[in-house]
Amino acid sequence: MKMKLSKKLYVGLAIPVICILGIGVYSLKAFTLIDRQVGTIYDDRVIPLQQLKLISDDYAVYIIDAVNKANSGIFTSAQALNSVNQAMTRIEEHWQEYKNTNLTEQEVAIVAEVEKLFVTADAEINQLVTALESGDPEQIENFDGELYAVIDPLTAKIQQLISLQLEVAQNEREKAAQLYNNIRIFFSILLILAIVLASPIGSILSRSITASIQEVINSLVSASSQIAAATEQQERIASQQAASVNETSTTMDRLEEAAQTTATQSETAVANAQRVLSLAQEGMEAVNSTQSGMWELNEKVGAIAELTYRLNEQADRIGIVSQLVFELANQTNMLALNAAVEAIRAGEQGKGFAVVASEIRKLADQSKQSADKINVLVADIQTVIGKTVTATEVGTNKVKQGLSNTEKTATVFQEVAEAIDEIVLSSEQISLTAQQQAIAIAQVVQAMNALNQAAKESAEGISQTKIG
């Protein structure tokens, strides 16, 4: 199982850190012990030694020496009494302080013996105090030399405690020295182990880390090669996309031209339909004129024949215009079909244009249907005109019948006018739709040009990335 590079570095750093941490903990513990040993020597041996020395001095100097000076007349009784009282107070304080220190078992035993001697010495000193208070020289003189009998054993025991303090202090000093030697030996062993183990461990970790770094470098080289290959493939794809978009833009330009042509033709169809409507209105006026002149039919047969001839010509014109509308509807239908095909080729960008093309086809179909109706109406008109001619030849006896036929003719012309009006509206709608189609195609062309520019920039960017 291979270790990760980060784990190897972590292990390489963790080992010396753990070693240093262990050494630090051991050092703190060892120095704590040494400090405790030194503190014991000072607190429990040096200070008690001073206290015992002061107690011994108080007995020897401030009590016995004060009695000797009082007997010699150097001190007065009051001075000697003051010296004895102060010495007794200090002795009590120092003794209690000494007893509060950390005593060994041997010290406890000697302290018990000293306190027994304190009882005897205190009783003798109390008598001395009484004598000093009385101021009687003879009584004071009686204590000259007698105090040594009770104080010398006491001071001897105190001296024994002092010697014991020195002995215990020496033992504590030897323990501290032994602890120091142990620490020095331990650190020496650690130093030797560090020298012996550091080199092999460092070499092993170095080789392992170097191998891991080499693997990372090899992986980076392999990944770089794969990225270069992918970049080349993306460059080819981008170039192909740019070519496809350019071709599509060209197609859309052609479609835009066709849409402009369709719009122009639609405007022409609207103009022709308006002219047809104008002719239909004129036909209505002629029928009305014919109807009003039927009462004078006998006198104006020639005029009726002429009007009938003109009406026949106008019907022919309507037929021609209707045929033109029919052909225009076919052409519009074909253009809408082509536009739908181009919209399918455009894909997602051509969906809206496909809807517009579908609407144009519907309008073209409606135009064809309207043209068929016009043809039917024109045929009817021609039939009516034939009847009108026959009625004219029959003469004035057929006035009533001619009036009826004229009314029928008026009705037919009304229907023709309505049909032509529908053709005009349809043609206007086709023109509007064609214009909207042209605008939509122009927007698509603009979008395709932008897409073409973006594709070129993408191809150039990928090429620069490959070079860089």
pLDDT, tens digit, for every residue of 5-57?
667 666 666 776 786 777 777 777 766 876 776 676 777 778 888 889 899 88
85-120 per-position pLDDT tens digit? 999 999 999 999 999 988 889 999 999 999 998 998
Per 3-state DSSP, what percentage of the chain is helix, strand, and coil (rounded to 5)?
Answer: 95, 0, 5
pLDDT at 86: 93
The sign one gets for the Cα dihedral 250, 253, 254, 255 is: positive
Query: Is residue 81 within 8 Å of residue 126, measured between CB atoms?
Result: no
Q: Which residue has the tokens 């859309």?
A: 252
Q: Is the pLDDT of residue 330 over 80?
A: yes
Could you confirm whether domain 5-218 is CATH 1.20.1250.20? no
Q: Residue 44 has what DSSP assignment?
A: I
For residues 413 and 284, the answer to whether their CB atoms sit within 8 Å is: yes
Rounded distance between C-alpha atoms, residue 324 and residue 311, angstroms = 20
Count other C-beta atoms under 10 Å from residue 135's C-beta: 13
Residue with tokens 């609207």: 270
The residue type at 102? N
> Is the CB of residue 84 less than 8 Å from the CB of residue 62?
yes
**Do residues 333 and 361 touch, judged by C-beta distance below 8 A?**
yes
Rounded CA separation 258/437 (Å): 10
> Could you tell me the pLDDT band of residue 2, with boundaries at 50, 70 and 90?
low
User: Does position 398 have pLDDT exceeding 70, yes or no?
Assistant: yes
**Mean pLDDT throughout 358-365?**
83
Q: How much is the average pLDDT of 389-409? A: 75
Question: In sequence order, which residues have a C-beta less than 8 Å from that of residue 339 and are 6 or more positions away?
Answer: 255, 258, 259, 353, 354, 356, 357, 360, 437
- N residues, the chain: 468
- Compute the distance between CA of residue 438 and CA of residue 454 in angstroms, rounded to an integer: 24
- Contact by Cβ (8 Å): 164, 110: yes
Question: Considering the entire predicted model, what is its pTM?
Answer: 0.36
pLDDT of 131: 86
Q: Which one has a higher pLDDT value, 324 or 206?
A: 324
Domain extents in the chain: 5-218, 244-467
Structure tokens at 331: 């052409």
* pLDDT for residue 195 is more than 90: no
DSSP for 313-361, written as a single string: HHHHHHHHHHHHHHHHHHHHHHHHHHHHHHHHHHGGGGHHHHHHHHHHH
- Give the Cα separation of 210 and 75 in Å (integer): 94
| 1-28 b/e (C-beta count within 10 Å ≥ 16 → b) | eeeeeeebeeebeeeeeeeeeeeeeeee
- The residue among 450, 268, 448, 241 whose CA lies nearest residue 342 is 448
| Structure-token pair, residue 34 | 């040494």
Domain 244-467 fold is: Helix Hairpins (1.10.287)
Q: Which two tokens mark 31?
A: 């120095």
Identical topology for domains 5-218 and 244-467? no
Per the prediction, the chain carries an average pLDDT of 78
- Going by pLDDT thresholds of 50, 70 and 90, the confidence category of residue 434 is low
366 vs 354: which has the higher pLDDT: 366
